[in-house]
Homo-oligomer: A and B are copies of this chain.
Amino acid sequence: MRRVFVVGGGIIKFGKFPERGIRKMAEEVLFNLFKDAGAKPSDVEAAYVGSQNTACDDTLMMVGQIALEQAGIVGIPITNCTNACGSGSNAVHQAWLAIQSGLYDVTLALGIEKMSSPLLPQAMMAGRLGGGDSEIEGVFGLFAPGIFGMIAKRHMEEYGTTREQMAKVAVKNRFHASLNPTAQYQTPTTIEEVLSSRVVADPLTVLECSPISDGAAAVLLASEDAVKRFSGKPVEIIASVQVSGTYSFTDILNIDTTRRAAKKAYEMAGVGPEDIDLAEVHDCFSIAEIIHYEELGFCKKGEGGRFIDSGAPFLGGKKPVNTSGGLIAKGHPLGATGVAQIVEILYQLRGQAGKRQVPNARIGLTHNGGGFRKADTGIVCVHILKKV
């Protein structure tokens, strides 16, 4: 395998910006990317663009071509990856794989999503935002919040996880987001506020759910041969893994995709969960982050609640998780999420994360997934990045 590096990352503030369309978002995020990487648009040899609903709701077919044209990136192979909430990391993995092919030395992954659309209620009705399958779960109205509500109840029953422990995930991520100028919700919250906010899917409250967001993030990847062309300080991708679900587990507390992707990623990187200094984890709901602690090997099965009680995943703890604010507080523009996670780890490993900097961060992990059905996830990607 070739060594592959992230040489630049760009992000824009996530939020609901009715006045800001795909073109404007793309222009801003690509400007930030090329500035950060010390690169020109003409350096890009192939591009992968993660976007899910944008292709549907804005009727902007081939959103990648339209977005990249804003920076003059034309002519090259552009592949639009639609994989629900995992579209962004899918794009990063494919950009990495394209460099592995030996045909390309410099590839770009862009994640972009416009969710604050007039067509949003229609999309929600159709089940799209559930990452779901309208022919099976959808007919029962079983979209993402309902599924994770059931998981939360089962985790409480099985392992004694408390509502306070779940609320702590939201409190932690809101606090981290208060230190991140690109986060959607930058105001801290409290356990009491989380627990008394509106219930979305019993027991989960609105502050425990990732919001509707517009946003974009982009990374530039380079082979070992090409890395010196750019002034952007590189970080190495020591593992890039994509898996899909097997749908063979009927136990909703086992997120098998995360476990398999993490196992492969640790093997590829030659590190274990104990070596991870910080992680960006797919906290679409508070309970999701707790279960993923377990599946990523940060703690034993069933001990996710106790893991957050220990303080470990807080900034200042021994394994900070979602220093960006995560999906819950930074926002969750579907296709952008997986790319934004890489940008956060890049900035952290470079020591450029400002007030939310993790001291001496050396190895970071990203975990992004999408599409929940039959007690499994449609896609999970895990990346491990290392300071060089």
Which A residues are closer than 8 A to B by beta carbons?
1, 21, 23, 52, 55-56, 58-62, 65-66, 69, 74-84, 90, 93-94, 97-98, 100-103, 126-128, 130-135, 138, 242-248, 260, 370-371, 378-379
Contact = CB atoms under 8 A, between A and B. Distances in A.
A379 B138 contact: no
Contacts of A100: 101-103
A74 B245 contact: yes
A138 B98 contact: no
A297 to B, nearest CB: 19
A102 B246 CA distance: 24
Nearest to A122: B122
Nearest to A51: B82
A1 B103 contact: yes
Contacts of A90: 79
Contact of A127 (B55, B59, B247): B59
A319 to B, nearest CB: 27
Given A55-B55, A102-B1, A370-B62, A243 B76 contact: yes
Given A66-B133, A74-B245, 15 more contacts: A56-B56, A59-B126, A62-B370, A65-B245, A69-B247, A74-B244, A74-B248, A77-B93, A77-B242, A77-B244, A78-B244, A78-B378, A81-B81, A100-B101, A100-B103
A378 B76 CA distance: 10
Contacts of A82: 55, 61-62, 80-82
Contacts of A247: 69, 74
Contact of A61 (B52, B60, B244, B246): B52
